[in-house]
Structure 1
Amino acid sequence: MDLRLDGKPALVTGATRGVGIATARALARAGADVVGCHHGDERTADDASRALAETGGKHRIVRADVTRPDDGAARSGITGMTRALSKELGPKGVRVNAVAPGVVDTGPDSGLPAEVRARMARMSALGRLVTAEEVAQGVLFLACDTARYVTGVTLNVDGGL
């Protein structure tokens, strides 16, 4: 399976922590030129820049807040927006897909109490939470030429939750 993205541009939001940095790293290791957005502190942005620099290629981390005031409403429209954009941009050779992660295991720093994380893990068909790296692998698959006929899809990377 060809998971190379040599010289292709990739935009990653939230690219300084969690799923965002894992995705930026996976795409960079596959050869993509990554532009990562962040709206956090400069120290984490510098850390992310150094991590991406280790992969070679052309990468940048830029300050940009792409969040919306009502994130819940935005998330509920992602599937419809993904399908609509895929139909609009498909004739131009642009594929549009989304990834819907389950509860991501970021450890004690997640903001979720340990008992909530444990309960969510038990609810998963696989008996655990998804890792940021596993979500990133879903993004990598959708971005590579192996999935060149996949568009308009929301890939659930949630362990069957």
Structure 2
Amino acid sequence: MQLTGNDKTYLVTGGTRGIGRTMVLELARAGARVVTCYRRDAEAAATLSRELKAIGGTHHVTQADVGQPDDIARLVDDVAERFGRLDGIVSNAGQITHTPVEDLSFEQWSEVIATNLTGPFLLVQHSLRLMERGASIVLVGSRVAQAGLAGATAYTASKAGLAGLTRSLCKELGPRGIRVNVLAPGVIETEATAGMAAEKRHRYEQMAALRRLGSAEEVAHTALFLLSDLAGFITGETINVDGGV
């Protein structure tokens, strides 16, 4: 069995930065065709396109805001026109706001929920017409969904909601041979952690049994596993990649 292959097509949202970017590159290196999207950072999208071209294969980077229903529909239509099928999706795009609950506006709450929970739901809904038996859906959650995080109530609630969404989707889509799982990273080395204060970094490291932060590659490799036939009997689960928090 192979993790992926040159006959496979995957859609990864939020794939131009951080964990998503690493997922896209690892899928391309494994020989898959990859479509990904970005919200605003055109420069990151351009550098990713160049990296994908150097790897080789057929890939596509486009602009889409997964917090906007019309953008999701357009994104999946684009995949349908280019490739006509999907072997798996990784719903990775996300948004966070660090705001105390008493100061959290309804607009902030709604925007985070739209991107992190409604977006994945709509992505799955639109993508199903392109998916056949054996396809895999990976929703990127967060270890925070189980632990909680002060000042991030909307983010935590949205990521916790993915677990319930996944449990229901796995029951509904299981008879069709489509698997659905949540991938929940802990604190991972990305652009976002590069400027972290030493004291804060040490605190996060001590929270993990392995006493370190995770790498984007470690999360990406778990995503590739969940997308592959090697995880053929795993569905409805939340897989923590957190170093043993």
1:108 shift after superposition: 7.3
Structure 1 residue 69 corresponds to structure 2 residue 153: no
Distance 1:156 1:4, change over 3 A: same
Q: In structure 2, list runs of 5 or more residues that go unmatched.
A: 68-110, 117-154
CA deviation digits over 1:6-41, x for unaligned, max 9? 322211121111100001111111222111111122
Distance 1:25 1:85, change over 3 A: same
Q: Partner of 1:155 in structure 2?
A: 239
SS of 1:35 mapped into structure 2: strand
SS of 1:142 mapped into structure 2: helix
Aligned residues of 1:108 and 1:114 also touching (Cα < 8 A):
no
Distance 1:56 1:43, change over 3 A: same
The separation in 2 between residues aligned to 1:108 and 1:65, in whole angstroms, is 20
Structure 1 residue 144 corresponds to structure 2 residue 228: yes
Identity among equivalent positions (%) equals 49
- For residue 176 of structure 2, what is the amino acid of its counterpart? K
CA deviation digits over 1:56-91, x for unaligned, max 9? 222111111124423512211111111111111122
Deviates more, 1:109-118 or 1:39-48: 109-118
CA deviation digits over 1:78-119, x for unaligned, max 9? 111111111111222211112100001126754532321111
Question: Of 169, 184, 187, which residue of structure 2 is paired with 1:103?
Answer: 187
1:3 shift after superposition: 1.9
Deviates more, 1:43-52 or 1:132-141: 43-52
The separation in 1 between residues aligned to 2:176 and 2:33, in whole angstroms, is 21
Q: In structure 1, list runs of 5 or more residues that go unmatched.
A: none
The separation in 2 between residues aligned to 1:146 and 1:8, in whole angstroms, is 15
Aligned residues of 2:206 and 2:212 also touching (Cα < 8 A):
yes
CA deviation digits over 1:122-156, x for unaligned, max 9? 11100100011110011011011111111111110
Aligned residues of 2:19 and 2:190 also touching (Cα < 8 A):
no
Which residues in structure 2 correspond to 1:1-40 (within 5 Å)? 2-40=2-40
The separation in 1 between residues aligned to 2:54 and 2:166, in whole angstroms, is 32
SS of 1:6 mapped into structure 2: coil
* RMSD (Å) for aligned C-alpha atoms: 1.8
Deviates more, 1:124-133 or 1:30-39: 30-39
Larger radius of gyration: 2
Aligned residues of 1:5 and 1:144 also touching (Cα < 8 A):
no
- Which fold has the larger relative contact order, with Cα–Cα distance below 8 Å and residues 6 or more apart in sequence? 1
Structure 1 residue 54 corresponds to structure 2 residue 54: yes
TM-score (norm 1): 0.90
Q: Partner of 1:118 in structure 2?
A: 202
